Structure 1
Amino acid sequence: MAEFFKKYFSKNFFYDILFIFVLSLVVTFASFLFIDGVVHFSIPFVLLKKPTILFMNFIPVFILMLIMYFAIGSVGGAFLSVGAMIFIMGVANQNKLFYRDDNLKITDIVLLKETLGMVKSGVSIKLSPLYFIYPSILIVGGYYLLKIDKFRLKKIMRFSGAILMCFVGFFTLSNFMTVRDTYWNNSMSLFHPYIEVERAKDRGMVYTFFYHYKDFFYKKPDVYDEKMVMDKLDSYDESMPTDDEKPDIFLILGESFADLEEKGAKVDSEVYLSFRKLQDKSISGLIQNYTFGGGTIEAERYIYQGAESFPPYIKNINTFVWMLKNAGYATKSMHPFTGKFYNRLNTNQFLGFDEFLHLENYFDEYFVNKEADYFPDRILFPLVLKDYRNRDKSKRYFNSVITMQNHTPYSSEDKGIGDYLDRKSFNGTDEEYNIANNYLYGVKDTADQLLNFTEELEKEKSPVVVIFYGDHLARLGEEGKIYEKMGVDIGFDSPEGWLKHYTTPFIIWANSAAKEKIGDDMVGKNPTMSNYYLFAYALEKMGYKTPYIQYLSERRKEYPVDASSYISENGKLTADPSEKTKKDKLFHYMMQYYRLSHFSYDEVADKK
């Protein structure tokens, strides 16, 4: 054994490994020069206080350096090659941020052809002084390393070492770099925590790049029978409305819109007066969401997909938006906030949207968002109506609108708007009262604007359906403590409290022209259901009966509330479902995986 080590592992080898360790640290620190369009010189000092972020960016660089060391046989060669890789990644990252407002990820390999096409079409690479300084230092450093370090590995060592480090690299990538909790629970805290692009900058370019390796795969259920899923879908006969019967559709997400009166709060009758009028003219009810005080994107995407799944949005996935596009609709989304939020700017295309109007390309000229003073619905709804009236009437129209008005935080100041919450029954401070009262004022205004919007649509000769829903309860106070002070039980001590914690209202409203085409008065109370059923339920009412919509309709009738904590069983919520319910849930997971892994609209997608 001693002879073996003496033959293959000299002191020079161990010096090289130590040198590679140091050089990997240097390259890792250098990689942070490229995380943004602006160089942040404070980052090295921040990283010393954030060792996890430094370590997670260092590990891939170190492994790559070792692979190249064994492959090339010298420290200088490894430094030059890995340094060049980081440089290319950095240029790509900064240019992707500039042109697409998105970070470089390993999944962008699938976009290589598109990128080369952009360059060929005349899109120029944005240059920076860094692009001359970095390679100059790299070349000079690599040259001196090659000149100074004369030690060269034997071929057997190079071959076996390279193979071994490739295995180590793959294992690390698959089992270590992609751990969600590590990524989400650590950051440099330099950028915006709720904007995906900014959040990725906070993790570092290298870590972000390799973390998204997981996005290449959808997790297959432990038990999966594709034939069983296909047989189930084949058992339904598809039925679709004629072109003349198809209505124009608005799917409107009311930010933090909740019915606190329904939950037991003593509020002024004016708050929900407009909403009650709408409920009387609509199909109405409650949806059970999966988040509290945030997580808008989950409700939004679950409803588009008709599934409680949140896959990586890096390629086309089945949604009802694609279904409508395939049925001849022009598909649009409007959101009066930055398109970077939840990365809608780059992911909406994979959901089936033709166009996305957001702050940067449309709304900024009408209102400037400020914290606790977001884009008002009194401006938003008229703009949505204007867009509808200027539509291409040769196609049916679908618009998914995501509002911002009632987004947290809520001012703790007395705005002089009057009392919308009963002061006598409120058991909290003046500041807490103002938070709740200001929130309720915003809810009232949203309902007023929505009522005006539907009254304008009633005048339209074209059939129009509006689906409006709240995405989650507002976070009123720390951990929602203000609800308790309003006399509202949203605790988890009982199924009823749990349901109040997660339910928000919805309406499905149709103008007279739509009611005539649909052949239904579109009025009535609906039992509470999980949010992923909502769009499918509304589409079925409009005459859309695809196999998947029929499957969801069948499931909704048996399991209207479907969550991990509770599920409906024989009309009651239970945390301990029967074996049949568990079996049906497993099949539902199989159905979701099938839908994620088998895109149905390639033909219409190819026309984009």
Structure 2
Amino acid sequence: MSSKSLMKRGYVAGAIFGAVTICCYLCTAGQLLTHLTGHAPLVIVAWWFVKMTISALVVIVPIMLGCHQSPEHSRWGTTVILWLIGAVGFLWAKYTTQPVMNVAQPSPELYVAQQIFVGWLSTTVLFAVAQPLQRLLHHWPIYQRRHWLIAVTAAYFLIRLFNGYDLLGFHRGTSAIWFVYLFAVGDWLANDQKWLAQWPRWRYALVTVGAFLVSGLLTWLNMNHVIYSPHKGLTPDTHYLLAINAFQPMVVITCILLVAWLVRSTSRGWANDYVASQQILLLGLLGTAQAVTPILLPTVKWPLAVTTGIILWVLALGLPVFTIKVGRRWQIKLNWRQVARWGQDFAKRYWPVALTYALLWLITVASFAYLWANDWTMVQWVVTARAKIVMVNVLIIFALVLILMAITNRWWISSGIGIIFYLGWLCASVLKITARNEPILPTDLSAVTAPGELLGMVNPWIIGGTVVGLIVILGLVGWLEYRAGRPCRFNGWCRIIVAVLAVGFLACFTRTNHSDSLVYKQLQRIDDTPYFYSQIRGARMNGTLLQFANNVDVHVMTKPAGYSAATMQQIARHYSQVGRRINRQRTHQTVGKQNLVFVLSESFADPARVPGMKVSGGDPLPFLHKFKKQTTSGLMLSSGYGGGTANMEYQALTGLSIANFSPTMPTPYSQLVPYQKRTFTINNLFKYSIGIHPFTANLYSRKAVYKKFGFNKFYHFDGGSKITYTSKIQHNPRVSDESTYREIDLNLQRRPHGKFVQVATMQNHMPYEPAYYRKRQYHVSGQDFKNPDQQGQIEAYIQGIHYTDQALRKWVRQLDNSKQPTTVVWYGDHLPGIYHGLPMGKYGVPLHETDYFIYSNKAAQRLNHDRLTSQHQLVSPNDFAAMALAKMDVQVSPYYALLTKVQTELPAISLPTNGTAKNNSAHQGGIDFINQRGHHVKLTKDQRRLFHDYQLVQYDLTAGHHYLQKDGFLKQVAR
């Protein structure tokens, strides 16, 4: 080839790389342009097209380099120039995007530039070493290259589609094997003209256009970025912001077809045939070793091992497909005609199976659409971002169909019954969601024993329509079974294997909440989040079937050793004696007309105790620091960090510790209380009790819980008793603490007097946006944040609790002026989850310590002899009930005698503090005992005996035979 021709080839390559660089420049400027244009739809589409083009170029350029067959010449000079241009472009992209986007979230355009740069840099290396690499490739016969490349491409596509495993580093597109693979594909297309000629050019054009449309649609759908937050809701789609993954399998296949079309359309060949050798086989074995090596490591990643095992198993069973010739050298050739015949036979025989799966998938997507109120954006998000969750829902009902098939060996009948059951399930789910805003749970199955009562709650028209639909489906199923031609049948061994696999799959869900099980780890891997505290939210995220399965593996509490009727009678007698000794020192037999107020102050914790952080600008909590020195006060050991409010509320009201429950039941409010026949809480000692929560009551099933606890009224924003005071502070969307305290005063003034008030505030609930308050007077420094955005959140939070301190000072003064004797138990439930720079393993205890005080107003102080004067004590939330009765000088029942001994003789009790206690899913379990110095300790022999009694009583009241659920033990004063 002449030097002039070589220069033309160089200009072409330079133009391609220049186009990539220009597109990078355009993308980095895209953020500014979209802000200036107001995010118009046309701009969104334009940027999608630009990014799609860039993604295609990243894949096409290495393929095109492999296509070009040219003689030896030096390319290193051109390569150095390309490297300089690319480096300048990348640095320009990096530094021009920083001012546009938030520092905490780098620009998506920068992400594109970085990904393109990696591809570009690697492609320039291919450009420089193209001839030696092609000589290496040409040592292998063209038909063998064809078979290996098609097999690798198919494996990449299928594995990414069904499992998401990163085969040979293809997923990120940054491995050397990835770029060599693309180069080899181009070289094969250039040298396999005879094989490509089997299709006419118009067919290549048609298939390429179809692949482009499919890949374009998939990239558009995957750009639909929806962020789900339990408290902020859903962030709208932002198509114009997100990068397109250049390494999606459909994009790769589209690019390969496009180059094949171009090659097929040329009038002259792109390469010559070469003699085969085994050097390319070594490259293939290198990739195979990379795929199999993780299995041999000591720390096995089981999902990876299982995936690779399936691949090897399929290859082993597919040996008849290969034709292996042994001569001077090994040659492996795929018998594609045999593969095609097997595929055709399978499709003809088992197409009903695929049809049933497709119908179940459509029904499942329709159910998600209903759960998301037919919001197309959310349906789109579920289908793309939650595709594996959708698949699990489909597989659950599909497993039932397979079990029926194993029994009847009639596919249409089995699938028809399965579809009828699924539709009936979804209809029942809709009815329950409409009535109770909750999906079907395992505890609802008890209603099946009373079908008449159940059907009596359903509109007769719905029942009639269901019966008609049932008849139609059964008729269609019968007709298909009779007229479908060649029947779909399984042989004996197949039926047994299918039944075992299907039953085994369904049985796996009995281990969904065991954190050491493979099932739990797999579900976590696909982002299964049960949201036990809001079952309807869990159903929206996971589907009705998977959410039901998430609640199957729920165990309340492990039975303590020695539990029996005789043991519990002995405990009742013993703590009656303890109660009599305690009551000799107390004045009042009942609470009488005293008021007791429990105030859970959302996310309140003194930031001065956070390790490694310094707060400047003054003391944000001057009143609290002074007030805690004047009354019973100290620190509460929370069992959560950044969440789990209802768990602290449950422990405070019941006196029971969350640490004693099974790890499979992280949220008693929603998993236990609604299904108990009887509960006992401290408000049951009062003739009248109310709850106040200036927010939605759907979270944690609070409506059902407060009703079960016996509250007379519940003030909230979901149809309950109307809240009078709802003012907010500046731009904070939550009701202020000052308004909540005024609401408490209003209800204390109402008759009858002598009431219990349970309050959960909302002012300091997440998120903590710096824009909430016009001025932030406090500033922080230290290691507790990683960027300025997190620093702003912490400062906004501190400003918020400063306003709480001011409101608290005003409220305490009002309480002192009241003539009603009132005692207040005030505590923070957990720290906010905003301290990102601290390791929980090192600072677990201080990151779980919140503030509390127990205060009696002047009227109560005149009435009572204060039996609780200790200050700066570390306690658990389950201690508050016993401490409140001591503060009010009220005599105790045997139950509260036990709680009093637990409070005075045991260290603080909590879930393990070395990690965040999850309230969305099962946790690791275990119990921490923390002494007054904040150190982990072990119990003494006497303490172990007392704690065992405590566990026995908790088990009996919640999961046992309820031997102690009598007023004589729970409520009546020990005499």
TM range (shorter): 0.7 to 0.9
Checking the alignment, whether the CA contact within 8 Å between 1:413 and 1:434 is kept in structure 2 is no
Matching residue's letter, 2:446: V
Distance in 2 of aligned mates of 1:268 and 1:583: 49
- Provide the residue aligned with 2:482 in structure 1: 147
How many Å separate the matches in 1 of 2:638 and 2:503?
42
- Find out whether 1:595 has 2:941 as its counterpart: no
Match of 1:455, as an amino acid? Answer: R
How much has 1:109 moved relative to structure 2? 2.1
Please say if residues 372 and 407 of structure 1, whose CA atoms lie closer than 8 Å, have aligned partners that are also in contact: no
Decide whether the 8 Å contact of 1:34 with 1:91 is kept in 2: no
Residue 116 to residue 518, structure 1, CA distance change in 2 (3 Å): farther
Residue 533 (structure 1) shift: 1.8
The Cα shift of 1:402 comes to 0.8
Superposed CA RMSD: 4.7
* Counterpart amino acid of residue 683 in structure 2: L
CA gap 1:208/1:437 in 2 versus in 1, 3 angstroms = closer
In the alignment, which residue of structure 2 is the partner of 1:295? Answer: 644
Alignment CA distance shift 1:172-1:262 (3 Å): closer
- Asked if the contact 1:245/1:517 (under 8 Å) is kept, the reply is no
Aligned residue number for residue 550 of structure 2: 211
Find the residue that maps to 1:235 and give its secondary structure. helix
Gap change, CA 1:17 and 1:417, over 3 Å in 2: same
Preserved contact between residue 46 and residue 188 of structure 1 (Cα < 8 Å): no
Query: CA offsets per residue over residues 10-51 of structure 1, 9 Å max, x none?
Result: xx9999988457524522541342343534667488446545
1:534 aligns with 2:880: yes
Q: Distance in 2 between matches of 1:371 and 1:299?
A: 28
CA pair 354-201 structure 1, distance change in 2 beyond 3 A: farther
More deviation, 250-259/176-185: 176-185
Query: Which residue is 1:341 aligned to?
Result: 699
C-alpha distance in 2, partners of 1:578/1:15?
A: 72
Residue pair 1:247, 1:514 contacting (<8 A) in 2 also: yes
Cα distance change on mapping 1:40 and 1:569 into 2, 3 Å: closer
**Across the two proteins, how many residue pairs are aligned to each other?**
573
Equivalent in the alignment of 1:79: 415
TM-superposed CA distance for 1:244, in Å, is 6.0
TM-score, normalization by structure 1: 0.77
1:248 correspondence with 2:607: no
Find out whether 1:525 has 2:858 as its counterpart: no
Please name the residue that 1:23 is paired with.
Answer: 356
Q: Report the counterpart of residue 56 of structure 1 in structure 2.
A: 392
Alignment match, 1:4: none
Paired residues of 1:372 and 1:409 also in contact (CA < 8 A)? no
The residue aligned with 2:632 is 283
Give the Cα–Cα distance (whole angstroms) in 2 for the partners of residues 278 and 472 of structure 1.
20
Determine helix, strand or coil for the equivalent of 1:439: helix
Q: Deviations over 1:108-137 (max 9, x none)?
A: 12356899658747x758979x98998698
Deviation at 1:351, TM superposition (A): 4.1
**In structure 2, how many angstroms separate the alpha carbons of the residues matched to 1:430 and 1:49?**
30
Question: What per-residue deviation string (whole Å, max 9, x for no partner) do you get for residues 135-165 of structure 1?
Answer: 69845752443333586999x9999999979
Structure 2 match to 1:358: 716
Q: Pick one of 760, 778, 788 that aligns with 1:420.
A: 778
Give the letter for the 1:593 counterpart.
Y
Secondary structure at the aligned position of 1:443 is classed as helix
Give the TM-score, by structure 2 length.
0.51
Distance 1:305-1:263 versus aligned 2 partners, 3 A rule:
same
Q: Deviations over 1:276-319 (max 9, x none)?
A: 45424531111111222222222222222321244422412776
TM-superposed deviation, 1:56: 2.7
Matched, 1:573 2:922: no
Q: Helix, strand or coil: the match of 1:332?
A: strand
Q: Does 420-429 or 19-28 show the bigger shift?
A: 420-429
Matched, 1:198 2:533: no
Question: After superposition, where does 1:139-178 map in structure 2 within 5 Å?
Answer: 141-148=476-483, 168=504, 171-175=507-511
Q: Return the index of the structure with the highest Cα Rg.
A: 2
Q: Distance in 1 between matches of 2:741 and 2:686?
A: 25
In 2, Cα distance between equivalents of 1:177 and 1:192: 12
Task: Give the counterpart letter for 1:552 in structure 2.
Answer: L
Aligned partners of 2:823 and 2:856 also within 8 Å: yes
Q: Map of 1:359-508 to 2, 5 A cutoff?
A: 359-361=717-719, 362-363=722-723, 366=726, 373-393=733-753, 396-413=754-771, 415-417=773-775, 419-421=777-779, 434-477=792-835, 479=836, 481=837, 492-493=841-842, 497-508=843-854
For residues 177 and 413 of structure 1, do their structure 2 counterparts lie closer, same or farther at Cα, with a shift above 3 Å needed?
Answer: closer
CA contact (8 A) 2:433 2:439 kept: yes
State the SS of the aligned residue for 1:593: helix
Amino acid at match of 1:513: A
Structure 1 contact 335–403 (Cα < 8 Å) conserved: yes
Asked if 2 retains the 8 angstrom alpha-carbon contact of 1:248 and 1:465, the reply is yes
Alignment of 1:40-189 (within 5 A): 43=379, 46-47=382-383, 50=386, 52-69=388-405, 74-111=410-447, 120=456, 124=459, 138=473, 141-148=476-483, 168=504, 171-175=507-511, 186-187=526-527
Q: Does the Cα contact within 8 Å between 2:405 and 2:411 map onto a contact in 1?
A: yes
Amino acid at match of 2:768: Y
CA pair 402-176 structure 1, distance change in 2 beyond 3 A: closer
Q: Deviations over 1:458-514 (max 9, x none)?
A: 34333222111001112335x2x3xx7xxxxx8643xxx433211111111112333
Deviation sequence 1:168-187 (CA, Å, 0-9, x none): 57734424598555556644
Residue 256 of structure 1 aligns with an amino acid whose one-letter code is S
Task: Give the aligned partner of residue 5 of structure 1.
Answer: none
Q: Relative contact order: is structure 1 or structure 2 higher (C-alpha 8 Å, sep ≥ 6)? A: 1
The 1-side partners of 2:786 and 2:501 are apart by 61
* Contact persistence 2:642–2:832 (CA under 8 A): yes
Mapped partners of 1:427, 1:253: distance in 2 = 26
Q: Which amino acid aligns with 1:142?
A: V
Cα distance in 1 for partners of 2:501, 2:780 equals 67
Tell me which moved more, 271-280 or 173-182. 173-182
Equivalents in 2 of 1:409, 1:211: separation in Å? 28
**8 Å CA contact retained: 2:597, 2:759:** yes
Deviations 1:557-591 (A, max 9, x none): 33322234542469772366677766765665444
Call closer, same or farther: CA 1:423–1:203 in 2, change over 3 Å.
Answer: closer
Alignment match, 1:515: 861
In the alignment, structure 1 residue 220 sits paired with structure 2 residue 558: yes
Matched to 2:415, the amino acid is: F
Q: CA deviation at 1:204?
A: 0.8
Indicate the larger mover: 201-210 or 309-318.
Answer: 309-318
Residues 539, 243 of structure 1: alpha-carbon distance in 2 compared, 3 angstrom cutoff: closer
Q: 1:379 to 1:463 in 2, by over 3 A?
A: same
**2:907 maps to which of 546, 560, 565:** 560
How far apart, CA to CA, are the structure 2 residues paired with 1:335 and 1:31? Answer: 36
CA contact (8 A) 1:95 1:125 kept: no
Larger mean Cα displacement after TM superposition, 458-467 or 561-570: 561-570
| Counterpart position of 2:683 | 324
The whole-number CA distance in structure 2 between the counterparts of 1:95 and 1:368 is 37
Match of 2:244 in 1: none
Structure 1 unaligned blocks of 5 or more: 1-11, 485-489
Question: Which 5+ residue runs of structure 2 have no aligned equivalent?
Answer: 1-344, 914-927, 969-975
Query: Which of 892, 905, 913 is 1:545 aligned to?
Result: 892
